[in-house]
């Protein structure tokens, strides 16, 4: 049975499939999974092993833990990645809780090694549960996503979905009368048919969270932070405001409060003027949004509007 499954997955990799999500991995014996994945890795060859990530729901109090699976695939070239549901639960604080929980996380050892954790604010299951943050939380969901992409932990997974009612969470995606899923594009159009405001999206329409304007700049920020794997100059104030640096490469401020945040931060960035990439960018030699001046000692006086964020990094410096 192991060989039969391994042969099938190997055939898919030969066709060009680059990775696999293993649903409900916590219900499968780790030794069986290791035997299957090791054979697939060996078939693919060194440096070409597919990306595997396991769904292991581990709240910390269950009999099965993510740590039971961290060695799967390791001996054959690439250990699998695993969903980190304990980290995901922290993001619910953005919906109205206490953001200081992230200060505790920043100084503690997470549940999984960073290079094996798949991190996310929500997924197709949690957004249909009462309590977890999801697209209808609007700007608070955006701020949670900023933290997800800017913080140096795990491999981020972005949710992009469609509007539904939690009283009818089994509703399928936008589709025609025959049940065929509708394209994100209207017939003959190259403009995506996405809800302009996720919080008021009509039931059964595309929400397209991955197309929010700040997503691509934050992904560029994350890529630019390679080599700056630690958090520096972590700062928090009350339950709604936090900031942190990524060494001499970047700095992030999140303000969930209803009032503007103004503070002088130690950024550790080189002196110069930087463009905020959360609500702007560097274009044609100028900032389309806020400009932040960092002095020779790495200090910057920063103002962040209510329920907003500010993200600067060396790749967006004037």
Parallel/antiparallel/unpaired status of strands 51-54 and 81-83? parallel
Query: How many Å from the N-terminal Cα to the C-terminal Cα in the chain?
Result: 59
- Annotation marks residue 197 as catalytic: no
Beta-carbon neighbour count of residue 30 at 10 Å? 18
Instruction: Name residues whose C-beta falls within 8 Å of residue 204's C-beta, 6 or more positions apart in sequence.
Output: 162, 163, 164, 171, 174
- Which one is catalytic: 7, 23, 84, 92? 23
- Annotation marks residue 55 as catalytic: yes
- Which one is catalytic: 32, 34, 49, 55? 55
Catalytic residues: 23, 55
């Amino acid at each position: 049975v192991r060989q039969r499954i391994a042969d099938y997955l190997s055939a898919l990799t030969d066709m060009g499939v680059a990775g696999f999500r293993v649903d409900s991995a916590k219900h499968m014996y780790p030794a069986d999974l290791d035997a299957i994945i090791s054979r697939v890795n060996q078939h693919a060859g060194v440096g070409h092993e597919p990306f595997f990530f396991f769904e292991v729901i581990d709240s910390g109090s269950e009999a099965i833990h993510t740590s039971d699976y961290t060695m799967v695939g390791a001996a054959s070239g690439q250990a699998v990645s695993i969903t980190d549901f304990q980290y995901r639960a922290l993001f619910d604080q953005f919906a109205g809780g206490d953001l200081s929980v992230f200060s505790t996380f920043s100084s503690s050892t997470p549940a999984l090694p960073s290079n094996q954790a798949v991190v996310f604010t929500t997924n197709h299951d949690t957004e249909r549960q009462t309590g977890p943050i999801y697209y209808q939380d609007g700007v608070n969901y955006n701020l949670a996503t900023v933290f997800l992409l800017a913080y140096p932990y795990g491999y981020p997974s972005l949710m992009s979905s469609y509007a539904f009612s939690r009283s009818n969470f089994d509703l399928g995606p936008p589709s025609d009368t025959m049940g065929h899923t509708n394209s994100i594009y209207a017939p003959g159009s190259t403009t995506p048919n996405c809800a302009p405001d996720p919080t008021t999206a009509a039931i059964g329409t595309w929400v397209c969270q991955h197309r929010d304007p700040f997503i691509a700049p934050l992904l560029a920020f994350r890529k630019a932070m390679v080599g700056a794997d630690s958090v520096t100059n972590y700062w928090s104030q009350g339950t709604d405001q936090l900031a942190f640096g990524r060494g001499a490469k970047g700095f992030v401020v999140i303000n969930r409060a209803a009032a503007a945040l103004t503070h002088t931060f130690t950024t550790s960035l080189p002196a110069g003027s930087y463009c905020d990439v959360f609500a702007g960018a560097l274009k044609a030699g100028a900032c389309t949004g806020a400009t932040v001046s960092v002095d020779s000692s790495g200090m910057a006086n920063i103002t962040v509007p209510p329920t907003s964020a500010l993200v600067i990094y060396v790749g967006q410096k004037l």
